[in-house]
Structure 1
């Protein structure tokens, strides 16, 4: 049985913009809160190539007042289902870590795919650069270079 991975809107958008959305299916069974689906439908992100389930999540707006509804719903679902969280939001990542939830982002998905031989070294490096250059995800140059070094040294993965 594969692990349950809950994602908020960010990684879905960023991986789609980098044309590697399909890599999400490698990390586990993808589930998104209904709130995230609503956010995606408001935008123009095409997730038709991705297989995922959608769950209704009940939560109090005061649960994580510093996060948006999609991130809050994803965190609540992770806590309820003992799932891994995918998010590119720094506040959501910190909150997940504080709650003891395993958390990764779009860069982590690329590193995971490389470490499981789903991407060549050159493709992984190209996609990491594309995440910085061709998407609306803010990544610092040192972070991208560190991820590329992990690929080059075969230390990538979860």
Structure 2
């Protein structure tokens, strides 16, 4: 497991909506977010979510084609040698990967949580996700269930 876990806003909002925010604590212990992500999340954050100031201006180069939360999350993850970025948006994931930053998404978090014994099954959580406005294709659901050995 990487030393530093950085989260973009979408994962926080999604897990908050479905009542699974604590799953992130169980899995990672601590999350790092930027002030922008904190503002976008717009909910009180527990003490295991640490708001970190950026040390670089990397996000300025990314903000031309990504939203501010994604740009600052990628920039924050880039400041650590051993980090993992939780980001769902395809353009943001691509940009982070091009910078050599390991990424996962909200659904990847669910697979990891199951593999580590924090979830008995992914399928009921996906059912809760489908009741939100989080867009998820049938093909992606099938791939996730296959990886979670629930297909």
Alpha-carbon RMSD = 2.1
Q: Is 2:37 the partner of 1:36?
A: yes
Q: Residue 125 of structure 2: which of 124, 127, 137 is its match?
A: 127
In structure 2, the CA distance between the partners of 1:78 and 1:115, relative to structure 1 (3 Å rule), is same
Distance 2:35 2:66 in 1: 16
Distance 1:61 1:54 in 2: 16
Please list, as runs of the form range in 1=range in 2, the aligned pairs for 1:105-116 lying within 5 A after superposition: 105-116=105-116
Q: Is 2:25 the partner of 1:27?
A: no
**How many correspondences in the alignment?**
147
What is the CA distance between 1:62 and its match in structure 2?
4.0
Distance 1:99 1:144 in 2: 27
Distance 2:143 2:87 in 1: 19
Q: Is 2:144 the partner of 1:147?
A: yes
Q: Show the counterpart of 1:51.
A: 48
Q: Show the counterpart of 1:138.
A: 135
Distance 1:55 1:61 in 2: 14
Distance 1:130 1:29 in 2: 24
Distance 1:125 1:27 in 2: 21
In structure 2, the CA distance between the partners of 1:126 and 1:153, relative to structure 1 (3 Å rule), is closer
TM-score by length of 1: 0.83
Q: Deviations over 1:100-128 (max 9, x none)?
A: 1000111011111000011113xx21102
In structure 2, the CA distance between the partners of 1:152 and 1:10, relative to structure 1 (3 Å rule), is same
Contact 1:31 1:55 in 2 (8 A): yes
Contact 2:60 2:71 in 1 (8 A): no
Contact 1:4 1:28 in 2 (8 A): no
Unaligned runs of 5+ in 1: none
The list of structure 1 runs, each at least 4 consecutive aligned residues, that deviate by more than 4 angstroms after superposition, is none
Q: Is 2:85 the partner of 1:91?
A: no
What is the CA distance between 1:17 and its match in structure 2?
1.3
